[in-house]
Structure 1
Amino acid sequence: MKFLKRIVWIIVIILLAFGLKFAYELVHSPYNESMNHPDRLTIFYRRGCSRCHKALPRLIIPAYFSIKREYFINANKLSDKQLNKVGLNITPGFYTHGKLYETINANKIKSLWKER
């Protein structure tokens, strides 16, 4: 029984650690920092965006357990200058390796996630 409790505690600690990392990325993803790291995946979204609600739930589990750093940026908080710099017209937008992809295509999102 002690062994089982230890296993459960280890799982809880791992889930908590990944949860804290994921929460940090959601809260602290500054635009300038993401543009300084074009090799990392930056995901632009808008709260209440129906396209975002279709595409982004597929990324929650992979992002939650990801070891790499991703940036989640609320496009509503960006200036027109910042939006124009990256070329964002509609959300969700996936910016990686200096290119922006505005898509809800599950296969394209999956390939962008793998390439990051």
Structure 2
Amino acid sequence: MARIAGVNIPTAKRVVIALQYIHGIGPKFAQDICDRASIPAERRVHELTDAEVLQIRETIDREYMVEGDLRRQNSMNVKRLMDLGCYRGLRHRRGLPVHGQRTHTNARTRKGPAKAIAGKKK
């Protein structure tokens, strides 16, 4: 099992698909990494040589922000908004939708399960 950026990537899958198991690498970045390392698209992870794995690892370290650093940056961005007290920060703090969605109905993912209100029946 190949370990890249602190993540065990599956060995039976194609390299382009397996790289997407790393947080911060999607289809486009995975394809770019394979192109830079000159790895064919149909190659499987277990077929890679140690040199190719090392080349992929160095490319990711040099070019992309992934896993822990990316998660830390995202959480710092949210924390900054909350500290500023701007509208988006207040929505994060209260656990409500941030991007203008309605909350009268729906928004259950952010708000959690519905709470019963006593005496609501008519």
Same fold (TM over 0.5): no
Structure with more relative contact order (C-alpha pairs < 8 Å, separation 6 or more): 1
Comparing both structures, which one devotes a greater share of its residues to strand? 1
Structure 1 length normalisation: TM-score?
Answer: 0.30
